[in-house]
Amino acid sequence: MTAEEPHSKPSGNGAKKQDGTVGSSGSDASASLDFIRSIVEADIKDGKNEGRVHTRFPPEPNGYLHIGHAKAICLDFGIAAEHSGLCNLRFDDTNPTKEDVEYVDAIQEDIRWLGFDWGNRLHYASDYFGQLYEYAVQLIKDGKAYVCDLSGDEIREYRGTLTEPGRNSPYHDRSIEESLDLFERMRAGEFEDGSRVLRAKIDMAAGNLNMRDPVIYRIIRATHHRTGDKWCIYPMYDFTHCLSDSIEGITHSLCDLDFEDHRPLYDWFLDQLPVHHPQQIEFARLNISYTILSKRILVRLVNDGRVNGWDDPRMPTLSGLRRRGYTPDSIRNFIGRIGVAKRDSMVAAADLEYGIREELNRRAPRVMAVLRPLKLIIDNYPEDRVEQLEAVNNPEDAAMGTRQLPFSRELYIEREDFREDPPRKFFRLAPGREVRLKHAYIIKCERVDKDERTGEIIAVHCTYDPETKSGAAQAARKVKGTLHWVSAEQSIPATVRLYSHLFTKENPLETDEGGDFTDYLNPDSLETLTSCRVEPSLADAVPGTSCQFMRQGYFCLDPVDSTDDALVFNRTVPLRDTWAKMQKAAKAK
C-alpha cells in the first residue's frame, strides 16, 4: 500500500487465539520485544491509560487487503491480545468518491480468514460524522479553524514549498461568526463542490507542510456507502483519524512511517479539544521483492487486466494468496519472523515461500501428478493387470495414513525425468539405467520409441524387477533415483497453473527514466499446463485444499475454476530443487 490507512503491525508472536494466548512463531521466547511492544510494555508499567491496551486496524474500503496489511493486522490485533486488550476494526471511510461496500465485505472476510476477531467492535469513521462536525464547530468558536474560499490551486500556491514558507490565506482572519455561518451553510449544501473548505489555523510558516493550515473539511457531493446523501461535506483523514481513535478510547495508534509527518497534526487536534489523547506510533511498512504492495498499483493491475482480478493467485492480496494456497498460519508466522522496525526494508520473497513450505511439508498429503507426461511402457508387465499399491500419504505424519495407487503396464512419467543423453549427475531415467518408481518397482530403461520425422521421443520402454516392490523384503536394492508416475489408464486429466513472480525486478518501483513498473511485468508469471495427469484419488479433492505433487511442489485445487470433470490446480510454491540449482550453477560457469 502506498499512502493508505495507517497499518498496525503484526505480532511477532503470531496470532492470539480466542482466549488471548499467543501462538508461537518463528521468533521464540528468548526474543526481545520490538520497539513498539517495548513502548506498550513501558506504558503498562507506568500505569498509562489505566494499564489498558486498545488498538485498531483502520483500513479505507477502497481496495483489497494485501500482505502489507497483514503486517499491520497482526501487529494491531496481536499486541492487543498479548495484553488482554482489544482491537477494533474501523473503516476509515471519509472519502465517498473512492470507497465501496464491495471492499468493506472483502476486508472483513480477509481479516477473519487471517484469524482475527474484532468482536462487536466494528466501527466506521462515518459513524462519527455528527460528533466530528461538532468538534469542527468548536474549533471555529475557539478561533482555531476558519472557512477559506481559496480554490485548490490557490491553496497550493499559498502553501509555499518545501523550502519557502507559505502565506496566510486572505480568509485567515475572517471572523468567527462568519466562519461559523459559512461552515453551517457548507453543510447545508449552499455551496458548490470545491468552492470552500474549512481549515485549521496553525502556522503557514511551519517546516512541516501538514501544519500549514491543513484542510479539515471539504465539500463533496457524492453518495456515501453508509451515510448516503446525508452529508455533502466530509472530514479529512488527519482530522478524522485522531478523533476517531480518541472516541474509541484507543491507547496506541499504530501506522506506517508515511504518517510520521502527520503526528504533530494528530496531536494538535487532540490538544485543542478536551478529549482522550491516544499515542500514534509509526513503523516501516512491508516490502517484498518481486512484487508491489501498493493498493494504488494493485488496483491498476486489476483494472488494466494485467491480472485476473483481486484474487488472481499472482496477486499479493490476501484473497490472491488464499487462492494460491497460502494458509493464515503461514502468513502470520512469516509476519512474526520478519520483525518490526523503523527502517525501510525489502523482505526477500523467499522468506514468504519458506513459510508456506514449512507448513505444507507438515500438513499436505503427497500425491502423484505428472505435469508433462511421457509414456512409459513396462514390456515385461502383464497387459491387463492392474495392481493396487499402498502409498504413504505423508512421511512427516504417519497419522495421515495410506492410500491405494493403481499400477499397470502403461504409465506416464515426467518428460524431464528421462534423458536419452544424460548429463553428469543426472540420477533419473536414461537408456540402460535403473530407477525406482515411487511406491512401486525398480525399472530399467531398454529402449525408446521416436517419431521418425521429428525425432521426438514418444515412449520409453522398460522392464521391471518384480522382486523390488516397495515394502518387500528383497526391495532393499539401491538405485540413484526415484521417480513419480501415474498409471496411464487410471489417472485422470487435469489442468495445472504454474505461477511465478509477477515482476522480473526485485523492486519494480525503481524504474529507469520515463519507465514504470509495467516495464517489469513478468510475461511468464503464469504458465498453464493442460495435459497433466493426476492419480485417481484426486477426483474427490475438495476445492481449496492443498497437496504436494511429489517431487514438484505444493498445489491446491482452485476454488473458482475447478469443476468435477475438469480439475484445475494452482501451484502454491515449488519444492526446493537442488537439481535445478546445480544445473543453473553449471550453466553459469
Partner RNA sequence: UGGGAGAUAGUCCAAUGGUAGGGCACACGGCUCUGGACCGUGGAAUCGGGGUUCGAAUCCCUGUCUCCCAGCCA
> Is position 341 an interface residue for RNA (rule: CB under 7 A)?
yes
Contacts (Cβ under 8 Å, ≥6 apart) of 481: 417, 427, 428, 429, 435, 436
> Is position 387 an interface residue for RNA (rule: CB under 7 A)?
no
Which residue in the set 173, 178, 181, 193 belongs to the binding site for RNA (CB under 7 A)?
193
Q: How far is Cα of residue 256 from the mean position of the Cα atoms in its chain?
A: 17
* Residue 141 annotated among the catalytic residues of the structure: no
Contact 168, 214 (CB under 8 A): no
Instruction: Mark 80-99 with x for binding to RNA (rule: CB under 7 A) and - for no binding.
Output: ------------x-xx--x-
Which residue in the set 32, 303, 454, 563 belongs to the binding site for RNA (CB under 7 A)?
32
Catalytic residue among 199, 201, 263, 285: 285
Q: Based on CB atoms, which residue is closest to RNA, 284 or 567?
A: 284
Q: Is 464 helix (H, G, I), strand (E, B) or coil?
A: strand
Q: Based on CB atoms, which residue is closest to RNA, 95 or 319?
A: 95
Q: Which of residues 444-483 bind RNA (CB under 7 A)?
A: 468-472, 475, 478, 481-482
Which residue in the set 29, 162, 473, 542 belongs to the binding site for RNA (CB under 7 A)?
162
**Smallest separation (angstroms) from RNA to the CB of 284:** 6
> Is position 520 an interface residue for RNA (rule: CB under 7 A)?
no
> Is position 29 an interface residue for RNA (rule: CB under 7 A)?
no
Contact 37, 339 (CB under 8 A): no
Q: Which stretch binds RNA (CB under 7 A): 32-40, 131-139, 516-524, 532-540?
A: 32-40
Q: What is the C-alpha to C-alpha distance for residues 452 and 484, in angstroms, rounded to an integer?
A: 28
> Is position 45 an interface residue for RNA (rule: CB under 7 A)?
no
* Residue 280: count of CB within 10 angstroms of its CB: 22
- In order of 43, 413, 573, the CA distances from 50 in angstroms are 9, 67, 47
**Smallest separation (angstroms) from RNA to the CB of 443:** 12
> Is position 414 an interface residue for RNA (rule: CB under 7 A)?
no
Instruction: Of 342, 209, 215, 201, give the one whose Cα is nearest residue 264.
Output: 209
> Is position 168 an interface residue for RNA (rule: CB under 7 A)?
no
**Smallest separation (angstroms) from RNA to the CB of 29:** 12
> Is position 427 an interface residue for RNA (rule: CB under 7 A)?
yes
Instruction: Of 3, 37, 487, give the one whose Cα is nearest residue 285.
Output: 3
Question: 74-98 burial, b for 16+ CB within 10 Å, e for fewer?
Answer: bbbbbbbbbbebbbbbbbbbbbbee
* Residue 60 annotated among the catalytic residues of the structure: yes
Q: Which stretch binds RNA (CB under 7 A): 45-53, 126-134, 315-323, 545-553?
A: 545-553
Contacts (Cβ under 8 Å, ≥6 apart) of 93: 60, 61, 99, 104, 124, 125, 126, 224, 225, 226
> Is position 428 an interface residue for RNA (rule: CB under 7 A)?
yes
Catalytic residue among 60, 282, 353, 359: 60
Q: Which of residues 281-320 bind RNA (CB under 7 A)?
A: 284
Amino acid at 115: G
**Smallest separation (angstroms) from RNA to the CB of 437:** 7
Which residue in the set 134, 142, 229, 261 belongs to the binding site for RNA (CB under 7 A)?
261
User: Is the Cα torsion angle 578, 580, 585, 589 positive or negative in sign?
Assistant: positive
* Residue 119: count of CB within 10 angstroms of its CB: 9
Which residue in the set 23, 35, 100, 463 belongs to the binding site for RNA (CB under 7 A)?
35
Q: Based on CB atoms, which residue is closest to RNA, 312 or 389?
A: 389
- In order of 135, 201, 210, 509, the CA distances from 173 in angstroms are 20, 9, 20, 44
* Residue 285 annotated among the catalytic residues of the structure: yes
Q: β-strand 54-57 against 86-91: which pairing, if any?
A: parallel
Residue keyed to cell 528468548: 30
Catalytic residue among 71, 159, 199, 295: 295
**Smallest separation (angstroms) from RNA to the CB of 324:** 18
Q: Which of residues 546-585 bind RNA (CB under 7 A)?
A: 548, 550-551, 575-579, 581-582, 585
User: Is the Cα torsion angle 62, 63, 64, 65 positive or negative in sign?
Assistant: negative
> Is position 434 an interface residue for RNA (rule: CB under 7 A)?
no
> Active-site residue numbers?
60, 285, 295
